[in-house]
Structure 1
Amino acid sequence: MEHLSLALARLLLTVQARRPRDDRGDVPGWVLITVMTAGLVMVIWGIARDQLGAMLRDALSSVHN
């Protein structure tokens, strides 16, 4: 019985070693960073919308004058 379990373990390891790795389920790092950055921008914009709008208007008016 011990020989059978050892043979099955070796067979399983051999099959797993020969199988190509499938990375299609992984999310690439750049996608994660892009989504997290967009989320942070949305949160900051939601909290400080009035202040950011005033800063932009002041900056644009100082360039225009």
Structure 2
Amino acid sequence: MIVRALIAGMLLLLPSAAPAQPPARDNPPTPTGTAIVRGRVIVAGTEHSLAKVTVRAVSPPLR
């Protein structure tokens, strides 16, 4: 009875001991998208526009 339980336990643990498949070596890197946003940057509360302003928008990677 105990022998059967030990054998059953070993058979259940056997698949988890197998090594995981390594990732493919030739995966291309995920492309990074770019875009252009055009417009004016205005000072808050006024109608004065700013000159030579660089605006960057960043977001987390999409899944």
Is the structural similarity TM-score above 0.5? no
The higher relative CO (CA closer than 8 Å, separation ≥ 6) is in: 2
More helix by share: 1
> TM-score normalised to the size of structure 2?
0.29
Structure of larger gyration radius: 2
